[in-house]
Amino acid sequence: MNVVIPRRFRGPENSGNGGYSAGAVAAALGLPLGPAEVTLWRPPPLDVRLPAVLDADGVRVESAEGTVAEARPAPLELDIPEPVGRDEAAEASHDCPWLVDHPYPQCFVCGTARPDGLRIFPGPVAGRRVAAAPWVPDATVCADDGGVRPEVVWASVDCPSLFGYGCFDEWPTLMLLGRFTAQVLRLPRRGEPCVVMGWALGRDGRKYDTAAALHTAEGELLAASRALWITLRPSNPLVAATAG
């Protein structure tokens, strides 16, 4: 069994979007809808067959450089705030802090230079410590039956979680997803209006604990996630690549 992250689904320029990659690893575990916990040990390479090894604890995905990711079944324990209305989310999105100067403009989920991406741009919701954005899935991220592919749903609740910090507090913009736990309750349909929301849970040094949820415009919960983001050290090659 192999896991492949196509280049379309990148986050940084040369590695997979964390949420999409986590969803692909969860699928290798046999839990494409979760609930599952995925730990990303190194940036997932693109367009490469990555062997997935199943064992009693879960699945391990390898590359020539070492372990890329591990996944195991795990419940998602999360208190989800009141859903954000679609009009509120659209208004909030206008104030997304990365609309002008995006550190990862090629990101499949939130990148501003990706006409073929999800183009989810969360902004601060008035009167709440929640970031939100509207999203309407198009045909390119859906299966033949019209449902959004599970790994894309995982991606949709990845980046928005971090905006729960970025819209309200000072934060280091150069961060990568370290651990991701998600559950998909229902796959949205092609053209179905949705709202993505993200919020902060806590911080411990370089580690930022965040969460996100995907609802329909009517407030039906479709998916949710909890994410642990890690601040990059100045010596990390990705810092130099982004600065250049």
Residue 51's φ and ψ, nearest 5 degrees, are -60, 135
Mean pLDDT of the chain: 93
200 burial via Cβ count (<10 Å: 0-12, 13-18, 19+):
buried
The per-residue pLDDT for range 233-243, each reduced to its tens digit, is 655 554 434 44
Domain boundaries, the chain: 2-73, 86-231
Which phi-psi region, left, alpha or beta, contains residue 205 (left: φ > 0; alpha: ψ -120 to 50)? left
> Phi first, then psi: what are they for 115, rounded to 5°?
-60, -20
Asked if residues 188 and 196 have their Cβ atoms less than 8 Å apart, the reply is: no
Backbone region of residue 29 per phi and psi (left: phi > 0; alpha: psi in -120 to 50; beta: other values): alpha
* pLDDT score of 65: 92
Cα angle 31, 8, 185; round to 5: 30
| Predicted local distance difference test score (pLDDT) of residue 233 | 67
**If you search the block for the tokens 């299966």, which residue do you land on?**
143
User: In the structure, what pLDDT confidence band is assigned to residue 166 with cuts at 50, 70 and 90?
Assistant: confident
Helix (H, G, I), strand (E, B) or coil at 30: coil
In single-letter form, the type of residue at position 111 comes to G
The answer on pLDDT for 44 being more than 50 is: yes
Q: Does domain 86-231 have CATH number 3.20.20.140?
A: no
pLDDT of amino acid 239: 40
pLDDT tens-place string over residues 176-198:
899 999 999 999 999 999 999 99
Q: How far apart are CA 21 and CA 18, in angstroms?
A: 5
Q: Please report the pLDDT score of residue 234 as a whole number.
A: 59
Q: Is there a contact between 37 and 179 (Cβ–Cβ < 8 Å)?
A: yes
The pLDDT of residue 174 is: 77
